Homo-oligomer: A and B are copies of this chain.
Amino acid sequence: MTPANTDAPTPLESDFGWALRALSMAFTNDGNAAVAHLPSGARGYLVLVAVAEGQARSQLDLARRLTIDKTAMTYLLDALEEQGLVRRKPDPTDRRARSVTITPKGQRALQRARERLAVTESTVLGALAADEAAAFRSLLSRVAQGLEQRDDQDGS
């Protein structure tokens, strides 16, 4: 016979999924305000970061790197280009492809977004001491990079 379960039920706060969702929602909410000056908000910001890297050879490259559908990438870039933050130009080596570069105006907008997002990060991680927050960032970054490698292997 198993003894009667007199334990308290598992609290919601100990649930990994709940905690991850809470953090994501908070960062999304606060972060949207931080990047409100960018077209398409948070997604526009991510595209801008990836374009600024200068690694992606084509829109499809960008889409894959960001795990954004290529059809969404089209109108995200439409919006960014319309405001003069990025520029599309034909790739001379492949006339189907278009290379995307960031403009000086885009650089400034990106810099401003980064400064604001740094504040958002600190706010959202407010429950942690400075060294703990640094540790959390580091661990999160390693987790995400691990997932990126995993997914890259799956794809090819």
Q: Which residues of A contact B (CB under 8 A)?
A: 9-27, 31, 42, 45-46, 49-50, 52-54, 65-67, 114, 117, 121, 124-128, 132, 135-137, 139-148, 150-151
Contact assessment for A139 and B144 in the assembled complex, using a CB-CB cutoff below 8 Å: no
Closest partner residue, chain B, to A26 (CB atom): B147
**Chain copies in complex:** 2
Residues of B within 8 A of A14 (CB): 141
Residues of B within 8 A of A9 (CB): 52-54
| Given A11-B53, A13-B145, A49-B15, A20-B22 contact (CB < 8 Å) | no
A24's partner among B24, B42, B141, B146 (CB-CB below 8 A) is B24
Contact assessment for B132 and A22 in the assembled complex, using a CB-CB cutoff below 8 Å: no
Bound Cα distance A25, B21 (Å): 11
| Given A146-B126, A146-B127, A140-B10 contact (CB < 8 Å) | no
Bound Cα distance A25, B16 (Å): 14
Specify which of A12, A27, A135 lies most central, judged by the most chain B CB atoms within 10 Å of its CB.
Answer: A12
Contact assessment for A19 and B50 in the assembled complex, using a CB-CB cutoff below 8 Å: no
Contact assessment for B12 and A53 in the assembled complex, using a CB-CB cutoff below 8 Å: yes
- A55 CB, nearest partner CB in chain B, Å: 9
Sample 28 A-B pairs with CB under 8 A, ordered by A number: A10-B49, A10-B53, A12-B49, A13-B144, A14-B141, A15-B46, A15-B49, A16-B121, A16-B137, A16-B140, A17-B45, A18-B49, A18-B144, A20-B140, A20-B144, A22-B147, A23-B144, A25-B67, A26-B147, A126-B146, A127-B142, A127-B143, A127-B147, A128-B146, A132-B139, A136-B136, A136-B139, A139-B139
